[in-house]
Amino acid sequence: MKILHTSDWHIGHTLYTKKRYAEHEAFLNWLKETIVSRGIEALVVSGDVFDTGAPGGQAQRIYYDFLTSLLGTCCRTVVVAAGNHDSPAMLEAPAGVLERLNIFTVGLPGETERHVIPLRGASGKTEALCCAVPYLRKNEMVRMEDDSLSTDERIVSATAEFYRSVTDAALARRENDDVPIIATGHLFAAGALRAEGDGVRELYVGTLGQVGADIFPDELDYVALGHIHGAQAVGGQQRIRYCGSPLPMSFSELGREKCVLEVSLGGETHAEAIPVPVFQRMAAVSGSREEILQRLLELKNEDVWIEVTYTGTGTCPHLRTDISEAMNGGCAEVLCIRNNSAADALGFSADDAGSLRSMSVQDVFLRCIGAETLDEKAVSELADCFNEIVRTLEEAETCA
C-alpha cells in the first residue's frame, strides 16, 4: 500500500504583510495531481493544517475544497490529526459528515479505539491501520497529582503511555500479522534539527516535552510526524520521520528543498521524498548599501518577494527611501528591511525585531500576556477571545 505523508500546511499563514492563500491553493492542486499520478491510496496529514486556531473563511474554503477534490480518486482514505496551531474542536466539528466520505479528523485524545483508522485498498480490504494521534496537550495528558516525577518526565511518560495504548488497540484490531500499522504524531522529538527563524512554535518551555524515538513501540511500521519544518528521520530510524512543511515559513529556510513523503507499506517500509515545487519565489538580500541596491536592481523586474538585511558599518538612515526609489516601477516586492546598525543604535536586537514582524498576531498576543502574572485558565480565556476577534476580522476581509 502507498500512503502520502505531509504536515504543517499552515493555511492562512502571513509572511510579514503577505497572505499566502495563492501558494496554498497551488500546493494543494499540485498535491492532488501527485496523489493521482502516483496512485496514492491514503493521505496522512500530521498536524498544523491551519496557521491559527481561528482560521478565516478563505483558509477553511481552501482546506475543504481540497478534501472534496479527492473524492472518486485513487486516494480512498484521508487521515488528519490536529497540530498545536489547530483548533481540535474546529477540526473535529464536521467529523460525522467527513467520515462518511472516508475522511477522518482527530483533534483530541479519547478512547483508544477511535484513534485506530483502517486504510482500505481498492478491494475494500483493510491493508493498513493508522493510529491517528494528534498534538497531545500537557493539561489533557499529565496527572499533576503525581509528585514522584518532574513535569518533563510526566509529559514524556504520558506520551509514551498513549502511544503504547493506541498501538495495542491496533494490534487487537488487525486481522493478521501482515497488516502494517502506522501512527501520526505532532511533537518535538529529541535531536530533531530546526532552522533558525523557521516559525516553529515552542510546545513547552525549554526542552520540556521532547521525546526520544524509544517512545514509539517497535510494532509501528512507520511514524508520520509533524511540527518540525525540515524533513528528517528521528534518531537514525528511517521508520520515524518528519516530512517538514511544504512551504518555506520564513526567509531563513530558503535553499532548503521542501517535500512530501511517499511511504510504501508491506514487506520492507520505504519512504521516498517527493520535492515540492516553488510556488512563490523568495530571495534574501544582504550587504552594504551599494551591494543591496545593486542586487535589488537585478531582481527588480522579477516576480519575487525579498527580505533585505543591511550589514554595513554605517548607520545608513535613508536606506528605506533608497530601496523604495530603486524598486519603483518594478514587480518585485521588498517585504522587510532589517537595518542592523539602526537597531543597535536604538538598543535592541535587529533579529528580535525581524522575528516580531514575521510572527503571527496570535503569537504576539501570547507573548504580551505571557509577561503578565496570569493563571493558565485566564490565559486560555484571553486567547480564545482574541482568536474570536481575529477570526471575525479575517472573515470580514474575506467577504469584502
Query: What is residue 142's predicted lDDT score, i.e. its pLDDT?
Result: 62
pLDDT above 60 for 145: no
- Whether residues 88 and 20 share a domain: the answer is yes
Q: Helix, strand or coil for residue 350? A: helix
- Whether residues 213 and 345 share a domain: the answer is no
Tell me the residue type at 72.
G
pLDDT above 50 for 73: yes
Between 333 and 317, name the one with better pLDDT: 333
Band the pLDDT of 350: cuts 50, 70, 90. Answer: very low
Query: What are the residues whose beta carbons fall under 8 Å from the beta carbon of 214, sequence distance 6 or more?
Result: 235
Listed residue (205, 201, 212, 63) closest to 135, CA to CA: 201
CATH number of the domain to which 138 belongs: 3.60.21.10
- Whether residues 169 and 219 share a domain: the answer is yes
Cβ–Cβ under 8 Å, residues 212 and 190: yes
Domain boundary among 244, 275, 306: 275
Residue with cell 480518486: 73
Band the pLDDT of 370: cuts 50, 70, 90. Answer: low
Domain boundary among 239, 257, 275: 275
Arithmetic mean of pLDDT over the chain: 86
Domain boundary among 257, 275, 293: 275
Q: By residue range, what is the domain housing residue 392?
A: 361-399
Cα distances (Å, whole numbers) of residue 374 to 143, 245, 381? 21, 33, 11
Per-residue pLDDT reduced to its tens digit, 146-170: 555 566 677 888 899 999 999 999 9
Output the CA torsion 341→345→351→354 (10° steps).
-90
Query: What is residue 398's predicted lDDT score, i.e. its pLDDT?
Result: 42
- Whether residues 184 and 229 share a domain: the answer is yes
Query: What is residue 89's predicted lDDT score, i.e. its pLDDT?
Result: 93
Q: Which three cell numbers stand for residue 101?
A: 466520505
Cα dihedral 206, 208, 210, 212 sign: positive
- Whether residues 51 and 130 share a domain: the answer is yes
CA 300 to chain centre: 31
Cβ–Cβ under 8 Å, residues 349 and 343: yes
Q: Which three cell numbers stand for residue 129?
A: 491501520
Between 149 and 113, name the one with better pLDDT: 113
- Whether residues 198 and 230 share a domain: the answer is yes
d(CA 393, CA 96): 29
d(CA 202, CA 221): 28
Number of domains in the chain: 3
DSSP state of 186: E
Phi and psi (nearest 5°) for 17? -105, 0
Q: Which three cell numbers stand for residue 39?
A: 496512485
- Whether residues 269 and 290 share a domain: the answer is no
pLDDT above 80 for 343: no
d(CA 132, CA 114): 9
pLDDT above 70 for 349: no
- Whether residues 327 and 184 share a domain: the answer is no
- Whether residues 352 and 373 share a domain: the answer is no
CATH number of the domain to which 294 belongs: 3.30.160.720
- pTM higher than the cut 0.85: no
Between 256 and 379, name the one with better pLDDT: 256
d(CA 369, CA 385): 13
Query: What is residue 352's predicted lDDT score, i.e. its pLDDT?
Result: 53
- Whether residues 260 and 333 share a domain: the answer is no
Band the pLDDT of 248: cuts 50, 70, 90. Answer: very high
Q: Which three cell numbers stand for residue 74?
A: 485513487
Cβ–Cβ under 8 Å, residues 250 and 197: yes
Query: What is residue 347's predicted lDDT score, i.e. its pLDDT?
Result: 45
pLDDT above 90 for 289: yes
- Whether residues 26 and 98 share a domain: the answer is yes
Phi and psi (nearest 5°) for 239? -85, -10
Cβ–Cβ under 8 Å, residues 269 and 240: no
- Whether residues 72 and 18 share a domain: the answer is yes
Query: What is residue 4's predicted lDDT score, i.e. its pLDDT?
Result: 98
Between 349 and 19, name the one with better pLDDT: 19
Cβ–Cβ under 8 Å, residues 263 and 5: yes
Residue with cell 517512545: 215
